Structure 1
Amino acid sequence: MKALNLYGIEDLRYEDTPKPTIQNSFDVIIKVKATGICGSDTSRYKKLGPYHEGMTFGHEFSGVVEAIGEDVTHLNVGDAVTGCPAIACHNCEYCEKGEYSRCTKLFVIGSLEPGSFAEYVKLPANNVLKIPNNVDFDTAAMVEPSAVVAHGFYRTHIKPGSTVAVMGCGSIGLLAIQWAKIFGAIKIIAIDIDNHKLNIAKKLGADYTINSIEESLEEAIDAIPEQIDVAIESAGSPFTIGQVLTLPTKGGQVLLLGIPYSDIEIKRTQFEKILRNELNVIGSWNGLSAPFPGKEWDATIHYMSSGDLLVDPIISDRLDLSEGPETFFKLVNKKQHYDKVIFHP
């Protein structure tokens, strides 16, 4: 089969790779129909390199069941599915408590095991979920990032009537805007430095948009009549992680979803907001809960099916997998603008 394999920093190759095979009774082989680029993929491509040289990359995907092990009972060959790429050990103290996102041996396919930038991918049966007929493959390829966002929201105290601010309007932030609506937020503030992304945010439900390069963030927030109950950091920028602490009202919450790939410096005045405003700062990792892979996945599939979670406005490019090396290079080196990229193997 063809796959995108990462050999080193900015060394991604489209090449022939052995097709996965059934090796135990709970294996599932999936023919990949759609697979998306995640922000963590671009950071590993640009800054970190592979865990293992030549590893098949990627972890957000959907597809059709190609083959199943003899003990797989909830799936049939030909089923349309998505896959949870997170592999938990199911044996550590956190797994035994159903806290799978805290598993001490947790990893995601595309790192230690082959991922989804390929014609076929293999997962344990418990990691594979069927998708309804009215959820297309491109949408289903974004169940994983949506589940990651939902996991964070379940950790907050968001309730109907809340005002929510989302800082960073990439794919995660645009999903967060929609999850804020699902959780009952009546006012949503979108913050970014890209007017194109802010326009998408408006279409997906943001009531206010702020370009923090073009105007003072503090003045723009002060001009909004509602107080912010929950502020969500979804950019993972060293600058926004400090800024987001200044947004919530006293006793409010900050949800950290973005992953920074460099050291962070927080100004004293920003850090003091945690203390003086008695903020609750919440970290969130992955998108898992009990029963595995969790309510985040079932809820995402439900709301995609109902039309409450839209991903089509987020997707800018649908490309052949063979365009992967060129696309990654252009993306990380800012040679071309992309929103969400979906590959079709």
Structure 2
Amino acid sequence: MKAARFYDVRDLKIEDIPIPEIDLDDDVIVKVKVAGICGSDISKYSKTGPHIPGEVFGHEFSGDVIKVGTNVENIKSGDAVAVCPSLPCFKCDQCKQGLFSRCENLGIIGNKNAGGCFAEYVKISSKNLIKLPKGIDYETAAGIEPSCIAGHGMYRANIKVGDTVAILGTGPIGLLLIQWAKIFGATKVIAIDVFDEKLKIAKELGADICINGKEVDIIEKVRQMTDLKGVDVAIESAGTPLTSAQVLSLPRKGGTVLYAGVPYSDVNISRVHFEKILRNELTVKGTWFGNSYPFPGREWTSAIYYMKKGELKISPFVTHRITLDELPEIFEKIHKRDIFFGKIMVNINNN
């Protein structure tokens, strides 16, 4: 089969490798239809490199089941599926409590644990698959995993009906957080970014107010919009050192901060922002992966439900649809910042 093999930073090659085979009774072979490029894939390509030279990475995808192990009962050959890429151990103390996103030995396909989805076929356990209902296409289904990442964060933030929510960073996760915030009942959602192109999409997906951080002092602007009180929940989804500090100054007294963006450099927080945790008695939370009990979790069933209702959308922020052969070129363009992009979808067997 054709696969994208990752050898080193900025060294990605399309090569032929063997199609994976059934090894365990609960193994399933999935023919990949559509795969999405995650922000972590971009950082991996440009900065951190592979865990094992020659690995096949990528973890956001949908596809068709073509072969199942002897003990597989929940899925059959021919089923269209969404794929959860998380690989909890199911044995540690966190897993025994159903807290799979906190697994002490958590893995993900596309790293050293298992081959990823930038390939024509993937082998994975049947417990990681959810059969797709009619009405959800493969591209939308490839967006379920990042939707669950955002949804898990919403459950962590405990957003309530009537809340005002500020979201810093309107990349794919930020745009999904905007939609989830509305689903959870937020009355006012404030989207903050430095790119007008992204803010335009944020507005289309439900943001009530859009603020360009290059043009105004976002902290003062949010204060003005909230009667000088601040928002109920502020979410950092850009993963920059600047926004990781600013987010602490956006909530009201007793409000909540959720860190959803992954910073790939050190974060230095000034006293003026850090003291807000103490003086305003903030609740500060992190969020990781998108799983809960029963695995893969309520995030997955909820995402599919709201996608069917049309309240959780992927296509409005898909900016590129490419083939597997074009993958090395698009990663290099991203690295060189030669393109503006939102979500990039790779059509692999989706002709």
Deviations 1:204-251 (Å, cap 9, x if unpaired)? 000100000111212321331364100011111111100111100000
8 Å CA contact 2:219–2:246 kept in 1: the answer is no
Partner SS for 2:316: coil
Amino acid at match of 2:47: K
The separation in 2 between residues aligned to 1:218 and 1:111, in whole angstroms, is 38
Structure-1-length-normalised TM-score: 0.99
Residue of structure 1 in register with 2:56 after alignment: 56
Residue of structure 2 in register with 1:266 after alignment: 269
Matched ranges for 1:167-178 at <5 A? 167-178=168-179
Amino acid at match of 2:271: R
Partner SS for 1:115: coil
Residue of structure 2 in register with 1:10 after alignment: 10
Structure-2-length-normalised TM-score: 0.97
Residue of structure 2 in register with 1:126 after alignment: 127
Deviations 1:179-222 (Å, cap 9, x if unpaired)? 00010001000000000000000000001000001112123213
8 Å CA contact 2:5–2:12 kept in 1: the answer is yes
Matched ranges for 1:76-225 at <5 A? 76-112=76-112, 113-225=114-226
8 Å CA contact 2:223–2:250 kept in 1: the answer is no
The separation in 1 between residues aligned to 2:102 and 2:3, in whole angstroms, is 30
Partner SS for 2:136: coil
Residue of structure 2 in register with 1:330 after alignment: 333
Q: Which of 276, 296, 300 in structure 1 is aligned with 2:299?
A: 296
Shift in Å, 1:337 = 1.6
2:44 is the counterpart of 1:44:
yes
The separation in 2 between residues aligned to 1:182 and 1:34, in whole angstroms, is 26
The separation in 1 between residues aligned to 2:193 and 2:62, in whole angstroms, is 29
Q: Which runs of 4+ in 1 moved over 2 A?
A: none
Shift in Å, 1:43 = 0.6
Percent identical residues: 51
The separation in 1 between residues aligned to 2:193 and 2:243, in whole angstroms, is 10
- Count matched residues: 345
Tell which deviates more after alignment, 233-242 or 220-229. 220-229
Partner SS for 2:315: coil
User: Alignment RMSD, CA only?
Assistant: 0.8
Residue of structure 1 in register with 2:312 after alignment: 309
Amino acid at match of 2:316: P
Partner SS for 1:330: helix
The separation in 2 between residues aligned to 1:253 and 1:215, in whole angstroms, is 23
Partner SS for 2:241: coil
The separation in 2 between residues aligned to 1:156 and 1:232, in whole angstroms, is 9
The separation in 2 between residues aligned to 1:17 and 1:166, in whole angstroms, is 42
Residue of structure 2 in register with 1:285 after alignment: 288
Tell which deviates more after alignment, 186-195 or 327-336. 327-336
The separation in 1 between residues aligned to 2:168 and 2:124, in whole angstroms, is 34
The separation in 1 between residues aligned to 2:341 and 2:199, in whole angstroms, is 14
Partner SS for 1:313: helix
Tell which deviates more after alignment, 166-175 or 142-151. 142-151
Deviations 1:140-180 (Å, cap 9, x if unpaired)? 00110111111111112211000101100000000000000
The separation in 1 between residues aligned to 2:85 and 2:133, in whole angstroms, is 19
8 Å CA contact 2:146–2:173 kept in 1: the answer is yes
The separation in 2 between residues aligned to 1:216 and 1:263, in whole angstroms, is 23
